[in-house]
Structure 1
């Protein structure tokens, strides 16, 4: 099996860009809820926030598992700051939905994203769970958005540096037909 230190594989790229699109919509729903409460736009998009958060949490788990399986074939981080930034992104991608689930459970309300029962409802409320989730979900969510903006800015900045174009790692590979066939034979579905 060949190691390609210059690119992420197809599965990693699909997870990255698919989750980027879902996060963009997720943050759009939060921004609309914050900036345009009680509007038709909020009514149209806010209902997707919780189910989409559950889907993103599942995809984060898949992505982390895939990263562990493929760790020997992934491009190396360019420096310590990049390692720390990616670690912070992953931590927040896990923490934000976890505290939302804590809040949801503490509220006593049932939760069935996409009709799949995740937690049953119950009478009453577990106040500390609802309070912790209520305080930290939004704060950590906005911190995640700030890190994502920083991540994009750094990728674009490094793209302008000829010797550090890290964005190509997440773009489809281009090459000659023989390059493509060689990758197919090497099992490049990573």
Structure 2
């Protein structure tokens, strides 16, 4: 059977090229962010840690933009995407994905709230997006600081659950879930 190219948009059988590009780009950038913060927690202040931490704000800004695109793309493809299935497992998958999307949006919003109210200008790529607040807007900074780090831990737990469930789908249920996002063999293409 001749190989057909992967569609741009999602279908009931597979996630399309745009969804896959957004998914794996976001995954790679989140790995970068978590690696940097993990190194900071373990090693403290070192040149290596400074390299990662110094990129946290610009990488986080790109991540936020990709997440906004991903949410918009998911909404544009609503009803076209592979179904999560019936019953409890399908409901759990839908709720898990909803939680991932929600935390992926709220976490950077908390960082932006902190940045907007902060005493330093927000300029992730060298041009100012938010000016410094003098005096800082304390409630914004406090709320952003309280939420951003805690939501990062929640996001890490959700991502771990997401990865574990991919393993369950592939290893136990053998239902082709990974193929719908990462490959073509079992996705029916």
Which TM-score band applies after superposition, normalised by the shorter structure?
Answer: 0.7 to 0.9
> Which residue, 118, 136, 156 being the options, matches 1:125?
136
- The 8 Å contact of residues 29 and 45 in structure 1, kept in 2 or not, is answered as yes
Q: Deviations over 1:168-188 (max 9, x none)?
A: 11013249xxx97xxxxxxxx
Residue 170 of structure 1: aligned partner? 181
**1:88 to 2:85 alignment:** no
Query: What residue is the counterpart of 2:108 in the other structure?
Result: 97
Task: Give the TM-score normalised by the residue count of structure 2.
Answer: 0.86
CA RMSD, 1 decimal: 2.1
* 1:49-88 alpha-carbon deviations (Å, 9 max, x no partner): 0111111111011001111111232101130000000000
In 2, the alpha carbon distance for the partners of 1:71 and 1:141 equals: 27
Which structure 2 residue ranges, 5 or more long, are not aligned?
1-6
The DSSP-based 3-state class of the residue aligned with 1:114 is: coil
Match of 2:167 in 1: 156
Checking the alignment, whether the CA contact within 8 Å between 2:117 and 2:133 is kept in structure 1 is no
Are 2:60 and 1:49 equivalent residues in the alignment?
A: no
- Quickly say closer, same or farther: Cα 1:71–1:173, change in 2 above 3 A: same
Equivalent residues in 2 for 1:1-190, closer than 5 Å: 4-78=11-85, 79-174=90-185
How many residues align? The count is: 177
Higher RCO (CA 8 Å, separation ≥ 6 residues)? 1
The offset of 1:114, in angstroms, is 1.8
Consecutive unaligned residues in structure 1, runs of 5 or more: 181-190
The answer to which structure has the higher helix fraction is 1
- Superposition TM-score, scaled by structure 1 size: 0.86
Q: CA deviation at 1:113?
A: 1.5
C-alpha separation in 1, matches of 2:10 and 2:47: 51
Structure 1 segments of 4+ aligned residues over 6 angstroms from their partners: none
